[in-house]
Structure 1
Amino acid sequence: MECERRKVYVEVNVTHRPDGTARPNSIKFENDEIYEVDRVMQKCRAAATKVGGTGIRYTVQICGQSAFLFDEENGKWFVEAKS
């Protein structure tokens, strides 16, 4: 059985490159935990089907686990967090 998800806005440390691309480096959650992004595996425009919303979806690897990180393109970033 899959657990419930909720949209959680997070603080993201991002490197903006001269060619216009962005690379998320770390994610800071509401409880002040910070996770380093080991690798960006994919970037595409997509919907967050589990919690609603759209934007640029980054598939990232954190501590060996893959996760989705969404950039709403208005300066706000969110994840689909487990409830």
Structure 2
Amino acid sequence: MENKYTKKYVKVIAEFEEDGRIIPLRIFWEDGRVFEIDRILDVRPGVSRKVGGQGIRYLCRILNKEVCLFYEEPRWYVESK
């Protein structure tokens, strides 16, 4: 079965806290759209089962949809069809 997902590297605006936590705020899509992260639901070290790779996985709510955003130092990506 062919993998229908790819790593989609994205520009992210994030806040860096004094204790070292990284909090993503906005995701910029290549076509110019900007998505505000409404809420971060979970943060943990994780792997992407759909596209491979590992790093910090942020489970985010964006426009009432759950989206996994990964920080694989030094870049950010989402799983894209």
* TM score, norm. by length of structure 1: 0.90
Deviations 1:28-74 (A, max 9, x none): 01111110000000001111110111100000000000010000122
In 2, Cα distance between the equivalents of 1:70 and 1:59?
9
* Match of residue 54 from structure 1: 54
Residue equivalent to 1:79: 78
- What are structure 1's unaligned runs of at least 5 residues? none
- Cα RMSD for the two superposed structures: 1.2
Q: Secondary structure at the match of 2:80?
A: strand
> Which 4+ stretches in 1 moved above 6 angstroms?
none
Q: Secondary structure at the match of 1:18?
A: coil
- In the alignment, structure 2 segments of 5+ residues that lack a partner are none
